[in-house]
Structure 1
Amino acid sequence: MAQKSSGLMRMCSFLLLVILFLPRGMTSSVLTVNGKTESHVLNTQLGSEESLKCAVQNHTGDEGLLWFREGGAVDLKSENKINSSAVCVTAISEDDNGVTFTCKLQRDQSVSISVVLNVPFPPLLSGNDYQTVEEGSAVKLVCNVKSNPQAQMMWYRNSSILTLEKNHHQVQQTSESLQLSITKVKKSDNGTYSCFAYSPLETKTKDFHLFVKDRGSSVPIEPIIAATVVVFLTLCFGLIARRQRIMKCCIKGEDPQRETAL
């Protein structure tokens, strides 16, 4: 009986030593951001400021923390790295929409938690305002758009929805642009086209001016250049051939007094 008790004591002591000397990497530290234990989306507003505080839970000793904005590391002060760390995002703009901030455990970066910024803003439109095209050629009007939430897009002309002609107009839309392609441009295509972006926040519009010029007559440049070169060379050879005669005329025209004998 005493031997069994002694053996049980030795086993308990061994297990206790194993627990005490477990590598720190095997401890179950958990990260939180602003009290949340899961990665999440943070709704915010244009021009506002957000503070993201990352903290280590269940740690048995000091833990270093790292912050990343997208793929780049955030520069942290030494006192803002141990057990808890905060980053501040100021003057939030349209460019911050969809940006991911990630907090990681320094010794084991597989332990991490992320926050994605959601910044609602009205449509921002851009593109080439003026285009001149020759009759019979093709042209593309591209209306670039940034918006959150995504805007519904439409082409207008003369205050009415553009009537699309088969084999003449083609419209393509992505999350970043609305494109109007016109093949075999006609004089009647001349005018102002308006890109409308409809958003729950605001409706924006941008005008695109298309100028259609007459089809130019195609002038063959190469023959003109060749003819010019031939004329130039002909003149040069003519001057060289007449040089002797010109020189004789000049000699005959000199003052005869210069030939007086001594």
Structure 2
Amino acid sequence: MHNRQKEGSQTKVQNQLHYFSLSRSYFNSLKMAWNSSVVMQMGRFLLLVILFLPREMTSSVLTVNGKTENYILDTTPGSQVSLICAVQNHTREEELLWYREEGRVDLKSGNKINSSSVCVSSISENDNGISFTCRLGRDPSVSISVALNVIFPPLLSGNNFQTVEEGSNVKLVCSVKANPQAQMMWYKNSSLLDLEKSHHQIQQTSESFQLSITKVEKSDNGTYSCTAKSSLQTESLDFHLIVKDEKAEIPSNTERVLHQDLQSYVVPSVFIAIIKFTPVTPVSLIT
């Protein structure tokens, strides 16, 4: 009886030790997993901090004429616009830089700190699409841009008079500038030009409207009008085309034949002159 109790006690102790061993192993596994997870999370956090934390925190925001984002400014030729750049939320003196396209604008010393302005005067059609950018001096990535949208009616130019021979090719090039873009058409003698597929060809780019005429005929003679129609107004430019008669081709052997004919008239006269001026020795008759 005593032996059985002793064996039972030993079995309980062994079971408890085994349970304790399993519990300790499980605890160690949980601890390692927790430590691994924490280390990974801390590592990721530190990596994100390193990647996204700038060398110097920049909370400043730039505005131009009160706007915080890039925008388009409508204007017209001959007008003047002022662009005022200011720093918002700054904690110290901030230097500002202005750029016209990629070129830096010269600023006076008192027109650089915290607020800076540029004046664009005598605006022309060529300024359409030009951008002005204000940048933070210590952090060029902080910037804001303004693009000029110069609105103007169509402007046309070109060679108004052309004279060509019948059978040759000719191009009437009408240079055009317009904003907004204009609708282009060709007229002949005040009527819409009737295009012939093998005779006429039209090419249009952002800056020109071209009419090509292949193998010009007498019937192509006349006044051609390049017409540009926009929402502002309609403009026309006349091109006067004069078609001359085709020059007659001279055969290649004509000159040689003509030269031979001249020789046939010149040689006898020279021969006569030689006979006339050659001294003759008198001959006496002996009887």
Deviation at 1:219, TM superposition (A): 4.9
Aligned residue in 2 for 1:98 = 129
State which of 211, 216, 226 in structure 1 corresponds to 2:247.
216
1:151 paired with 2:182, answer yes
1:167 paired with 2:201, answer no
Deviation at 1:132, TM superposition (A): 1.4
Aligned-CA RMSD value: 2.5
Alignment-mate amino acid for residue 115 of structure 1: V
Alignment-mate amino acid for residue 151 of structure 2: P
Aligned residue in 2 for 1:76 = 107
CA distance in 2, matches of 1:25, 1:130: 66
How many equivalent residue pairs? 208
Aligned residue in 2 for 1:259 = none
Is the Cα contact below 8 Å between 1:43 and 1:117 reproduced in 2?
yes
Alignment-mate amino acid for residue 145 of structure 1: V
1:125 paired with 2:125, answer no
| 1:37-61 deviation per Cα after TM superposition (whole angstroms, max 9, x unaligned) | 1000011233222110011112221
Q: Structure 1 pair 58/158, CA: closer, same or farther in 2 (3 Å)?
A: same
1:201 paired with 2:232, answer yes
Aligned residue in 2 for 1:6 = none
Is the Cα contact below 8 Å between 1:25 and 1:108 reproduced in 2?
no
Aligned residue in 2 for 1:244 = none
Equivalent runs, 1:28-39 vs 2, <5 Å:
28-39=59-70
1:65 paired with 2:104, answer no
Secondary structure in structure 1 of the residue aligned to 2:132: strand
Secondary structure in structure 1 of the residue aligned to 2:56: helix
| 1:76-133 deviation per Cα after TM superposition (whole angstroms, max 9, x unaligned) | 1011011110001122221222111111112221211100111211100001111111
Deviation at 1:220, TM superposition (A): 7.8
Alignment-mate amino acid for residue 150 of structure 2: V
CA distance in 1, matches of 2:56, 2:223: 66
Aligned residue in 2 for 1:185 = 216
CA distance in 1, matches of 2:216, 2:208: 22
Alignment-mate amino acid for residue 175 of structure 2: N
CA distance in 1, matches of 2:249, 2:118: 64
- Mark the runs of 5 or more structure 1 residues left unpaired by the alignment: 1-21, 229-248, 250-262
Q: Which has the higher helix share?
A: 2
Deviation at 1:72, TM superposition (A): 1.5
Alignment-mate amino acid for residue 169 of structure 2: A
CA distance in 2, matches of 1:183, 1:113: 52
Q: Structure 1 pair 134/51, CA: closer, same or farther in 2 (3 Å)?
A: same
Q: Structure 1 pair 138/25, CA: closer, same or farther in 2 (3 Å)?
A: farther
After TM superposition, the score normalised by the length of structure 2 is 0.67
Aligned residue in 1 for 2:168 = 137
Aligned residue in 2 for 1:85 = 116
- Mark the runs of 5 or more structure 2 residues left unpaired by the alignment: 1-52, 260-278, 280-287
CA distance in 1, matches of 2:100, 2:251: 58
